Amino acid sequence: MIAVVGAGLMGAATAWQLARQGHEVTLVEAYEIGHKSGSSHGSSRIYRRAYGDPLYVRLTGQARELWQELEHDTGAQLLRLTGGLDFGAGRDPEGIAAILTAAAVPHELLTAAEATDRWPQFRFDGPVLHHPDAGTVDADATVAAAVRRAAELGARVLTGTRVTGAEILNDGRVALSSDGPTVVADTVVIASGAWLPQLAAPLGIPEPLPPLRVTQQQVFHFRRRDPSATWPVFVHKDELNLYGLPSGSDGGPLPAFKVAQHDEGTPTTADTRTGIVDPGSRDKVTAWVERTLPGLDPAPVAEASCLYTTTPDEDFVLDRTGPFVVVSPCSGHGAKFTPLIGAMAADLALGRTEPHPRFALGR
């Protein structure tokens, strides 16, 4: 039996992958399915192919195929394509275009004037990369669909059960202690997100983890002046490192657009986060929206916080040590890879593959 600790995006996807392959799975979640205490809630996350790194470009393509499998298996629409833009001097649109060309990913490099003609709700001052295979992922719907389908396929789902430690038994199996029933598993997948730094030692994970930084990030939703306008997702980097995407239901009843900083989060822990939005981030994002996105009313109509758990190199953690498979932290860019990370974690749990060196625990 394989136990999966944490039913956020990555844990839910891992349980789905294992259950659909016919394996006995127990999914253990400290809260209820779909809770908002971690990193996996909300109706809109970015899916995109544009990365300044060939590895992640390749992985996004693999993830796209598995998104289609997850949608087919669950009957839920989870991925919506809108196209994507990359701009700003620090984003290097020309360099990303060269990487996409090498990977045969469709894209086009536009001048500022060409891009403004196509998307007048933006202001551009330099080259703009557009690629059509980008859009949004519904995180809430993904977690719900994956957990539901895993349960339909025979997975046991324990909610309101907080894992507090582990003991390796004489037969090599692992007994998980918690505030609920004891779970005994042959292999344990730890997909606990921002709780990983405080859970690793009690579980007895022997390999050193990369230094992990947990931060509270803020996101802001702005009303669209023209509800009928088509908005692509975007990533911008210059004086600020920002991303934006259609809000979905998170932005309220009227069409809205979500904009947030990728960096400059407030250091915290999973259990001590305040949920109070940083007014400094609000001021920076609002001022940038007013300068750069004339298609939005620059007064936020909604705001929220979530957690990032970031490695120094922003690569994932996806490795096996003894009977434990450690999944994520995803450094604020993992949601788009959800079904692929679930598949990779399942392969590690079943002993079918070796970890990618860049995702190793002791790197």
Query: pLDDT tens-digit profile of 152-175?
Result: 999 999 999 999 999 999 999 999
Residue 215 pLDDT more than 90?
yes
The whole-number pLDDT of residue 229 equals 93
Which residues, at least 6 apart from 293, have a Cβ–Cβ distance to it below 8 Å? 121, 122, 123, 222, 244, 257, 259
Question: Once rounded to an integer, what is the mean pLDDT over residues 249-261?
Answer: 95
The whole-number pLDDT of residue 75 equals 97
Q: pLDDT tier at 299 (50, 70, 90 boundaries)? A: very high
Tally of CB atoms within 10 A around 227: 9
- The DSSP letter of residue 208 is P
- The C-alpha atoms of residue 32 and residue 56 are separated, in whole angstroms, by 31
Q: Which residues pair with 223 in a beta bridge?
A: 256
Lowest pLDDT segment from 199-208, 215-224, 312-321 = 199-208
Residue 329 pLDDT more than 90?
no
Q: Which residues pair with 86 in a beta bridge?
A: 129, 235
Kindly report the CA angle at 54 between 53 and 59, in degrees rounded to 5?
105
Estimate to the nearest angstrom the gap between the alpha carbon of 196 and the chain centroid: 15
pTM above 0.75, yes or no: yes
Question: Once rounded to an integer, what is the mean pLDDT over residues 310-338?
Answer: 94
Share of the chain above pLDDT 90, in %: 94
The whole-number pLDDT of residue 123 equals 97
Sign of CA dihedral 21, 318, 62, 262: positive
The whole-number pLDDT of residue 96 equals 97
Question: Once rounded to an integer, what is the mean pLDDT over residues 68-89?
Answer: 97
Which residues, at least 6 apart from 148, have a Cβ–Cβ distance to it below 8 Å? 74
Question: Once rounded to an integer, what is the mean pLDDT over residues 214-242?
Answer: 95
Angle between helices 9-20 and 139-152 in degrees, nearest 10: 30
Q: pLDDT tier at 343 (50, 70, 90 boundaries)? A: very high
| H or E stretch covering 112 | helix 112-118
Give me the chain's average pLDDT, please. 95
Estimate to the nearest angstrom the gap between the alpha carbon of 290 and the chain centroid: 27
Q: pLDDT tier at 264 (50, 70, 90 boundaries)? A: confident
The whole-number pLDDT of residue 95 equals 96
Helix, strand, coil percent content, the chain, rounded in steps of 5: 30, 30, 40
Question: Once rounded to an integer, what is the mean pLDDT over residues 349-359?
Answer: 95
Structure confidence by residue, pLDDT tens digits, 106-120:
999 999 999 999 999
- The C-alpha atoms of residue 41 and residue 258 are separated, in whole angstroms, by 14
- The C-alpha atoms of residue 189 and residue 22 are separated, in whole angstroms, by 17
Structure confidence by residue, pLDDT tens digits, 174-209:
999 999 899 999 999 999 999 999 999 999 887 788
Going across the sheet that includes 187-190, the strands are 156-158, 25-28, 2-5, 187-190, 324-327, 318-321
- The C-alpha atoms of residue 125 and residue 103 are separated, in whole angstroms, by 27
Angle between helices 9-20 and 338-349 in degrees, nearest 10: 60
